Structure formats: C-alpha cells, structure tokens
A and B are shown apart, each in its own frame.
Chain A
Amino acid sequence: MVVILGYLVLFAFILNPQWADKVAKFFGIESGAALITYISIALLSLISIVLYVKQKNQNESITKIIRHIGIKDAKKC
C-alpha cells in the first residue's frame, strides 16, 4: 500500500513538476528533481527489502518440503 501510494505521488510530481518544486522547497530540498530522486531511491529500497523477505520466506517453505521428503524416504542401510 505504501509502495502504491509512493508511486502515485511520484507520478503526480513527474506530471506536475511545479508541485514537486513546491514540496521540495517546503522540506528544504534544493529542487523538485532532487525530491523525485530521493523518493525513487526510498521506494526502490523498500521494494528490495520486501522482495528479500518474501524470498527468505519462500526458501523456508522449500526447506520444509525437502526435509519432509527426505525424512519420509529415510532408510536404514
């Protein structure tokens, strides 16, 4: 949700650069372009973290499946 909102704000700023300039000035950032860059970096970082966590969770699920198969097929030599 945060990512979607973030991208909506980003697209709004790209389509209306004067809005970006106004908001940038309010936060003491030198230009609207710099603000758009900072927001983009923050969003991409957030997406990376979310994807990393999802991948880790998937790895855990894969591990459980492989372990279950291994134990099920265990043999005594």
Chain B
Amino acid sequence: MNDTAIIVPMYNEGKVIKNVLKELISKVPYDIIVVDDCSTDDSYQQACVKGVYLIKHIVNLGQGAALQTGIEFARKLGKKYVVTFDADGQHSVEDIEPFLNVLRENKADIVLGSRFLGKAENMPEYKKHVLQLSRYFTYATTGMWFTDSHNGFRAINIKDFPNFNISQNRMAHASEIIDLIKKNKMRYVEMPCTIKYTDYSKQKGQSVLNSINIIFEYASGRLIQ
C-alpha cells in the first residue's frame, strides 16, 4: 500500500541506524523517510540504505522539527498515514501494522503507543517515575489522561488533518502533539507497544533535568501563541 510512510527522525545513530532501517525494509512495505537532524557522526551515510528517502537538516533543530519535516515530506509524497519510529532501535517493527489497522478501519485519527499498556524491556526505575509525572503534567495542561504521554511511537492520519503541524522543535513536541489532538478534534486511542531499553539507548536517552527544559519550552510556546 502506497498510502503510508514511516518517519524516522535521526541524530547521531550511526552505530544502529543501518540495522534499524534494514529491519524496517524487510518487514514493512511502506516508504521510509529518514530525517537526519544534522548528525555529527556518520549517521547520514549509514542511513543511505537502498529504497530509503533521506533528508538532512543543515543545522540541528531538534526531534520535533525532524518529525515535522518528515510529515511535510510525506504530505508531498501524497501519503495519508505516517508512523513515527525512533532511530535508536527502541521501537518494535511488529507494532506498526496493528496501529495502522486502527487508522484504516477508521476507528481513530491518531494512535499513540503506550509502553505501560504493552512492554518496556529493561526500563530504568527513575524513567518510570518521570513518565508517570509527565502524565499528570499532561492532564493538568490538557485535561486528557494518557498512560504514556511521551512515547515516540505513533500512527497519524495526516491527510485529513492538514493543521496537524508540530511547531515545538525540541522535546516539548510530545506535549504539543497532545494539544494538536485536542485542537484538531482528532479521535485518539492508546495501544500497547514494546519499548526496548538497551545499554546503547539508555546511554543516549534524555536526562531527567531535561524535563525542566521541556516544561519551560512548552509553557512559553503556549503563552506566545
């Protein structure tokens, strides 16, 4: 089916990206769009796997910006659905089809992954607590409850929602996506997904202190709007 693209935002994943993309290509029949957010290692070269669309930001903008670039490119290619998929190997390719089936059956406009409904292999304890806190933050700012409000695995109907556009460049985009669901009156559902925490991905993950940055970016973005 040519109506779907997998968007893979990437920053310094030279060690793993080739394997991630090869697995995606071997298991799903969809176009893959990799957005390199100005990596400083050889990620761009490693990501040039046959059949993959490759886009490069000439300046590092952030994961939110990379996702939006992927979404805009997917719209240019005429795609109806996108799945956002992390470049570090944490996400499971097997979760893609069940998420897309929900969109295709018109049961929702956006499907959000939840590691707490699914599986979080080797998740650090502190991360569990930080994510639980983020649920309360999301509820306080939007009135919406999620079991996992900061999960990068999502399937989105971008064609019927042309105003679904991420403006937060960095990690506050995850909170902004919840706002976009509300503003665009999108039907949403959470589904179980698997997040695999490896030594590699744990070392690359966000620090707890970055949560304060995220709150500040999100709050100032909303105030300015």
B197 at the interface (CB under 8 A from A): no
Q: A38-77: contact bitstring with B at CB < 8 Å (1 yes, 0 no)?
A: 0000000000000011001001101100110111011111
Q: Is the interface of A mostly helix, strand, loop or mixed?
A: helix
Interface size class, chain A: 10 to 19
Pairwise interchain contact B53-A74, C-beta atoms closer than 8 A = yes
Q: Within the complex, what minimum Cβ distance (angstroms) separates B129 from chain A?
A: 31
Pairwise interchain contact B69-A70, C-beta atoms closer than 8 A = yes
Task: Report how far A60 CA is from B68 CA in the complex, Å.
Answer: 12
Cβ-defined partner of B58 (8 Å) among A53, A69, A77: A69
Cβ-defined partner of B220 (8 Å) among A52, A63, A69: A52
B206 at the interface (CB under 8 A from A): no
Cβ-defined partner of B73 (8 Å) among A60, A66, A71, A77: A71
Interface size class, chain B: 20 to 34
Q: Within the complex, what minimum Cβ distance (angstroms) separates A64 from chain B?
A: 10
Q: Inter-chain contact count A-B, CB under 8 Å?
A: 53
Stretch of B44-52, B95-103, B185-193 at the chain-chain interface: B44-52
Known: A66-B61, A77-B50, A77-B52. A53 touches B169 (CB 8 A): no
Tell me the nearest residue of chain B to A73, going by C-beta. Answer: B56
Q: Within the complex, what minimum Cβ distance (angstroms) separates A13 from chain B?
A: 31
B57 at the interface (CB under 8 A from A): yes
Pairwise interchain contact B57-A66, C-beta atoms closer than 8 A = yes
Tell me the nearest residue of chain B to A67, going by C-beta. Answer: B69
Pairwise interchain contact B56-A70, C-beta atoms closer than 8 A = yes
A-binding residues in B (CB < 8 A)? 35, 47-59, 61, 65, 68-69, 72-73, 76, 167, 169, 220-221, 224
Q: List 10 A-B contacts (CB under 8 A).
A: A59-B169, A66-B59, A67-B57, A69-B58, A70-B58, A73-B56, A74-B54, A74-B55, A76-B53, A77-B50
B-binding residues in A (CB < 8 A)? 52-53, 56, 59-60, 62-63, 66-67, 69-71, 73-77
